[in-house]
A and B are shown apart, each in its own frame.
Chain A
Amino acid sequence: MSDLDRRAAPPGKLPGSLAADPRLDRWLAFDAAGHVTVTPGKVELGQGILTALAQIVADELDVALVRVRLQAAATPDSPNEGVTSGSLSVQDSGMALRHAAAAARAIHLGVAAQRSGVPVEALRVADGAFVAPDGRQVGSYWAQAAAGLLDCEAPAEARPKPPAERRVAGTSVPRLDLPDKVFGAARFVHDLRLPGMLHARVVRPSARRARLVALQDGALPGDAVVARDGSFLAVLAEAEHDAERAADRLAARATWQAADTLPPAHALADWLRAAPGEHAVVAAQDAPAGAPARTLRATFHRPYVTHASVGTCCAVARWQAGALEVWTHSQGVYNLRADLAKALAMPEEAILVRHMEGAGCYGHNGADDVALDAALAARAAPGRPVRVLWSRAEELGWGPVSSAMLVDIEASLDAAGNISDWREEVISHGHSSRPGRGAMPTLLAVEYMDPPREIPNALNPPLASGGGAQRNAVPAYRMPRLHVGVKRLAGMPLRVSALRGLGAPANVFAIESVMDELAQMAGEDALDFRLRHLDDPRGRDVLAAAAQMCGWRGRAKREGFGLGLAYARYKNTGAYCAVAAEIEALDRVFCRRLWIAADVGEAINPDGVANQYEGGAIHGVSMALMEQVAFNARAVTSDDWETYPILRFSEVPAVETRLIARPDQPPLGAGEASLAPAIAAIANAIHDALGIRPRAMPFTPENLAAS
Chain B
Amino acid sequence: MVAFTLNGAAVAVEVPDTTPLLHALRGPLGLSGPRFGCGAEQCGACVVLVDGVPAYGCTLGTGAVAGRHVTTVEGLGTEDAPHPLQRAFLEEQAGQCGFCLSGILVAAAALLAREPDPDEAAIRAALDPHLCRCGSHNRILRAVRRAAAEMASGRRAPEPGA
Contacts of A359 in B (CB 8 A): 97, 99, 133
Which partner residue on chain B sits nearest A391 by CB separation?
B39
Q: A649, B127: Cβ atoms under 8 Å?
A: yes
Docked Cα-Cα span, A203 to B139, in Å, equals: 39
Q: B99, A310: Cβ atoms under 8 Å?
A: yes
Q: A357, B97: Cβ atoms under 8 Å?
A: yes
Interface segment, A85-93, A171-179, A507-515? Answer: A171-179
Docked Cα-Cα span, A175 to B43, in Å, equals: 25
Using a CB-CB cutoff of 8 Å, which residues 1-59 of chain B contact chain A?
15, 19-20, 23, 26-27, 30-40, 42-43, 45
Q: A183, B74: Cβ atoms under 8 Å?
A: yes
Docked Cα-Cα span, A48 to B33, in Å, equals: 20
Interface segment, A68-76, A404-412, A430-438, A611-619? Answer: A611-619
Q: Does A640 contact B (CB under 8 A)?
A: yes
Q: B36, A312: Cβ atoms under 8 Å?
A: yes
Q: B79, A183: Cβ atoms under 8 Å?
A: yes
Docked Cα-Cα span, A174 to B93, in Å, equals: 7
Q: Does B63 contact A (CB under 8 A)?
A: no
Interface size on A, residues (CB 8 A): 59
Docked Cα-Cα span, A186 to B78, in Å, equals: 13
Interface segment, A35-43, A369-377, A520-528, A650-658? Answer: A650-658
Q: B100, A182: Cβ atoms under 8 Å?
A: no
Q: Does A45 contact B (CB under 8 A)?
A: yes
Q: B133, A648: Cβ atoms under 8 Å?
A: no
Which partner residue on chain A sits nearest B26 by CB separation?
A240
Known: A190-B35, A392-B40, A652-B137. A311 touches B45 (CB 8 A): yes
* Closest Cβ–Cβ distance, residue A615 to chain B (whole Å): 3
Using a CB-CB cutoff of 8 Å, which residues 159-209 of chain A contact chain B?
172, 174-175, 177-188, 190-191, 193
Q: B35, A46: Cβ atoms under 8 Å?
A: no
Q: B90, A179: Cβ atoms under 8 Å?
A: yes
Q: B102, A240: Cβ atoms under 8 Å?
A: no
Known: A181-B101, A188-B99, A655-B138. A175 touches B133 (CB 8 A): no
Q: Does B113 contact A (CB under 8 A)?
A: no
Q: Does A239 contact B (CB under 8 A)?
A: yes
Contacts of B95 in A (CB 8 A): 175, 178, 181-182
Q: Does A271 contact B (CB under 8 A)?
A: no
Known: A357-B97, A615-B96, A646-B133. A310 touches B86 (CB 8 A): no
Q: A642, B42: Cβ atoms under 8 Å?
A: yes
Contacts of A615 in B (CB 8 A): 96, 134-136
Docked Cα-Cα span, A525 to B14, in Å, equals: 69
Q: Which of A185, A608, A618, A652 counts the most chain B CB atoms within 10 A?
A: A652
* Closest Cβ–Cβ distance, residue A124 to chain B (whole Å): 29
Q: Which of B32, B36, B40 contacts A640 (CB 8 A)?
A: B40
* Closest Cβ–Cβ distance, residue A566 to chain B (whole Å): 18
Known: A619-B135, A650-B124. A640 touches B99 (CB 8 A): no
Q: Does B115 contact A (CB under 8 A)?
A: no
Contacts of A312 in B (CB 8 A): 36-37
Q: B97, A360: Cβ atoms under 8 Å?
A: yes
Q: Does A13 contact B (CB under 8 A)?
A: no
Contacts of B140 in A (CB 8 A): 649
Using a CB-CB cutoff of 8 Å, which residues 357-371 of chain A contact chain B?
357-362
Q: Which of A47, A190, A611, A612 contacts B36 (CB 8 A)?
A: A190
Q: Which of B15, B27, B74, B97 contacts A184 (CB 8 A)?
A: B74
Q: Does A3 contact B (CB under 8 A)?
A: no
Q: Which of A48, A191, A360, A389 counts the most chain B CB atoms within 10 A?
A: A360
* Closest Cβ–Cβ distance, residue A424 to chain B (whole Å): 29
Q: A648, B131: Cβ atoms under 8 Å?
A: yes
Q: B90, A182: Cβ atoms under 8 Å?
A: yes
Contacts of B99 in A (CB 8 A): 46, 181, 188, 309-311, 358-360
Using a CB-CB cutoff of 8 Å, which residues 38-64 of chain A contact chain B?
45-48
Q: A240, B27: Cβ atoms under 8 Å?
A: yes
* Closest Cβ–Cβ distance, residue A376 to chain B (whole Å): 21
Q: Which of A193, A358, A641 contacts B43 (CB 8 A)?
A: A641
Q: Does A308 contact B (CB under 8 A)?
A: yes
Which partner residue on chain A sits nearest B16 by CB separation?
A241
Q: B96, A360: Cβ atoms under 8 Å?
A: yes
Q: A178, B133: Cβ atoms under 8 Å?
A: no
Q: A186, B93: Cβ atoms under 8 Å?
A: no
Q: Does A229 contact B (CB under 8 A)?
A: no
Known: A46-B98, A181-B101, A649-B128. A360 touches B37 (CB 8 A): no
Q: Does A325 contact B (CB under 8 A)?
A: no
Q: Does B112 contact A (CB under 8 A)?
A: no
Contacts of B152 in A (CB 8 A): none
Q: Which of A177, A184, A607, A611 contacts B33 (CB 8 A)?
A: A184
* Closest Cβ–Cβ distance, residue B120 to chain A (whole Å): 9
Docked Cα-Cα span, A649 to B125, in Å, equals: 7
Which partner residue on chain A sits nearest B72 by CB separation?
A184
4 pairs of A and B residues whose beta carbons are closest in the complex: A184-B33, A46-B97, A181-B98, A618-B135
Known: A310-B45, A616-B135. 20 other contacts (CB 8 A): A46-B97, A46-B98, A179-B79, A181-B98, A182-B89, A182-B90, A182-B101, A184-B73, A188-B32, A188-B35, A310-B37, A310-B131, A608-B93, A614-B135, A641-B38, A641-B40, A642-B42, A648-B131, A649-B123, A654-B138
* A-B contact list, 22 entries, CB within 8 Å: A172-B93, A178-B93, A181-B97, A182-B89, A182-B101, A182-B105, A183-B77, A184-B31, A186-B32, A193-B30, A240-B23, A240-B27, A359-B99, A611-B93, A612-B96, A614-B136, A614-B138, A614-B139, A618-B135, A642-B42, A648-B128, A649-B127
